[in-house]
Amino acid sequence: MAELDLGTIRDRLLIQAETAGCCAVGVCNQEGLEGGPPSTDLTRQLPGARAAVVFAYPVDEEKLELYMGKIDHAPYQEDYIRSNNITQGLAGEMTNQLRKFGYEAEVVYAGNTPADGTRVDVMPQNERQRKAAELNPAKASDIMMGSIPVISQRHLAAAAGVGFFGMSGNILTTTHGAAVTLGAIVTDADLPPTPVLPPEANYCDECNWCGQVCPTSFMSRTDFTTVKMGEHDHHKYSTREHHMRCASHMMGMAGLSEDGKFSSWGPGRKPLPKQDEQLLPAIMEMGGDLSKRPEVPGGFYDAQRGSKTNIMCSACNLVCHPERKVRAKRLKMWRTGGVSVQHEDGRIETLPVEDARAFLDAMPPERRALYEDIESET
Ligand code: SF4
Ligand code: SF4
């Protein structure tokens, strides 16, 4: 293979991602990530890593609207599975290309937390990571739950100019907002970085509609996380509370919002305790309920847990579009589209709040107990 300079190799990879349908692509390097949390040290995944290629693949907006409107769950979930496979496949192909040029490269797996079976220890391993951990201390609950990623795709995306942090903490792209699937690879090739997006490109007007579509208290209203990496101060975002508050909705254990007016796609109604210390037993009970409920059609095998799972929320990223009127429409759809119930064959349907109440009331108590607290009523 002909010798190519690093700039040309980089540009080839970026074109490859664009050709595959990505809406934003970029490259960041170790210097541009300096100051971020330990999960921005690329050497955690690949010794000697110098750079990362990052890309965002857009979600199908028609399917997204069926999902946000609580009209149909399956098309978006299928698109979610497909887009994840595309980004992971694209990342694999990029690593092959780099290896052909004599460089080492690895795919950053989107769910690469210690719980996915990786042997990588996410606790600080070197001086850079120890300093990073002091600047960006991890919450005890994140260490306990294993929710700290080996490599944070979000931080890589911000440093590569693929997007910017919004108040949700998600990465917002200039064309498709946060409704994207991120992908990344790390490599020891010293690829030249692409620029961070300028602050004026950030459309986040702090509308807090990401917070309003969230059925639980995951995004703090009072605490904010600030990110400084390399020379750049990135947009602050709402500090994320206990990981299980979000995960319980993502997995469909929980569903109903705290105000009881809307839900994620999960049919669960048991409230999450306000105190983090009481969360674990509640989550264990909900996990038990989930395992006894009928299987939701579709879904995919989660590499972290090895079990079949379904995607039941993501509203905070799907609501967020660069155009405020599109965002407003999605907010309304999600919050007025009804609440989820589950049929005996596993199907999830959303019904108006009163109809959902009647649906649950018609269930035998042992079945209803898989969805809501009935102890106090018996
Ligand atoms: S929904 Fe609003 S506040 Fe949240 S990230 Fe998007 S623009 Fe920012
Ligand atoms: S995925 Fe759902 S539960 Fe999790 S933070 Fe976003 S809106 Fe909230």
The DSSP code for 1 is -
Substitution site in 172, 202, 207 for ligand 1 pocket (most atoms within 8 Å of beta carbon):
207
Q: How far is the CA of 214 from the centre of ligand 1 (A)?
A: 12
Q: How far is the CA of 311 from the centre of ligand 2 (A)?
A: 11
Share of the chain above pLDDT 90, in %: 74
Q: How far is the CA of 128 from the centre of ligand 1 (A)?
A: 32
Substitution site in 59, 279, 314 for ligand 2 pocket (most atoms within 8 Å of beta carbon):
314
Q: How far is the CA of 250 from the centre of ligand 2 (A)?
A: 7
Token pair in block for residue 31: 């210097």
CB contact burial 129-164 (16+ within 10 A = b; e otherwise): beebeeebebbebbeebebbbbbbbbbbbbbbbbbb
Question: Residues with beta carbon inside 6 Å of ligand 1?
Answer: 166-168, 204-210, 319-320, 327
Mean pLDDT is lowest, of 77-86, 138-147, 199-208, for 138-147
SS3 content of the chain, % helix, strand, coil (to 5): 40, 15, 45
Q: State whether the Cα torsion 186-316-249-140 is positive or negative.
A: positive
With cut-offs at 50, 70 and 90, classify the pLDDT of residue 378: very low
pLDDT score recorded for residue 65: 97
Token pair in block for residue 33: 């990530």
DSSP string, 110-169: TT-SGGGT-----S--SHHHHHHHHHSPPPHHHHHHT-S-SS-HHHHHHHHTS-EE-TTS
With cut-offs at 50, 70 and 90, classify the pLDDT of residue 145: confident
Q: How far is the CA of 183 from the centre of ligand 1 (A)?
A: 22
Give me the mean pLDDT over the 219-243 stretch.
86
For residue 361, give the 3-state DSSP assignment.
Answer: helix
Using a 6 Å cutoff on CB, does residue 213 contact ligand 2? yes
Mean pLDDT is lowest, of 21-30, 66-75, 268-277, for 268-277
pLDDT score recorded for residue 138: 81
**How do 51-58 and 219-229 pair as beta strands?**
unpaired
> Is residue 296 packed enough to be buried (19+ CB in 10 Å), middle (13-18) or exposed (0-12)?
buried
Q: State pLDDT tens for residues 23-48.
A: 999 999 999 999 999 999 999 999 99
Among candidate residues 112, 115, 208, 138, the one with its CA nearest the CA of residue 169: 208
CA dihedral 19, 21, 23, 26 (to 10 degrees): -50
Q: Write the residue with the smallest CA distance to atom 7 of ligand 1.
A: 204
Among candidate residues 102, 17, 36, the one with its CA nearest the CA of residue 44: 36
pLDDT at residue 115 greater than cutoff 70: no
Sheet holding 24-29, edge to edge: 24-29, 51-58, 180-187, 105-108
Using a 6 Å cutoff on CB, does residue 216 contact ligand 2? yes
Q: How far apart are alpha carbons 72 and 302 in whole angstroms?
A: 22
Among candidate residues 100, 72, 83, the one with its CA nearest the CA of residue 12: 100
Map out the domains of the chain as residue ranges.
Answer: 6-195, 244-370
Q: State whether the Cα torsion 168-306-79-96 is positive or negative.
A: positive
pLDDT at residue 2 greater than cutoff 70: no
Q: How far is the CA of 170 from the centre of ligand 1 (A)?
A: 9
Among candidate residues 193, 129, 124, the one with its CA nearest the CA of residue 162: 193
Token pair in block for residue 142: 């994140």
Q: How far apart are alpha carbons 193 and 190 in whole angstroms?
A: 9
Q: Alpha carbon of 132 to those of 121, 159, 237, 363: distances in Å?
A: 15, 16, 18, 52
Using a 6 Å cutoff on CB, does residue 251 contact ligand 2? no
